[in-house]
Amino acid sequence: MREIAYIALGSNIGDREMTLARARTAIANIRGTRVLAESAIEETEPLGSVPQGPYLNQMVAIETELAPRALLSALQRIERAAGRVRSLRWAPRTLDLDIVAIEGTEISDGVLTVPHPELPNRDFWQRELEELRTVRHG
């Protein structure tokens, strides 16, 4: 079964634009996955209380054969390859990839929650998601 998923990309360490470009390529290279559309890239202020620089954010719509947990694992491998180190919550990061939504799917199993629980709190995700849905559905 092929799923339509929306993946948020964020970076605030190093060459942020290059990091997002490499992440888009890596996502497109996930087995059984293709990128359908990309939102505009926007700069946002970091969330949380840890002092850090601004993020570049973007969202992509993908079609994938992977089950949600397998997709999450693939995205975490991409993060690690980009130098992502999980430490403090809200810490700066080379790359952050989040499954924001999967069309027609709701999951909450302790490992993965879809739609992402922070979606209502992130205006930029809402804008990017709307942009992608508009592009995909006209």
What does the alpha-carbon distance between residue 87 and residue 90 come to, in Å, rounded to a whole number? 9
21-68, pLDDT tens digit by residue? Answer: 999 999 999 999 999 999 999 999 887 777 778 999 999 999 999 999
What does the alpha-carbon distance between residue 25 and residue 20 come to, in Å, rounded to a whole number? 9
Burial environment of residue 116 by CB neighbours within 10 A (0 to 12, 13 to 18, 19 or more): middle
In the chain the domains, ranked by start, together with CATH numbers, are 3-137 (3.30.70.560)
pTM comes to: 0.92
pLDDT, residue 90, reads: 60
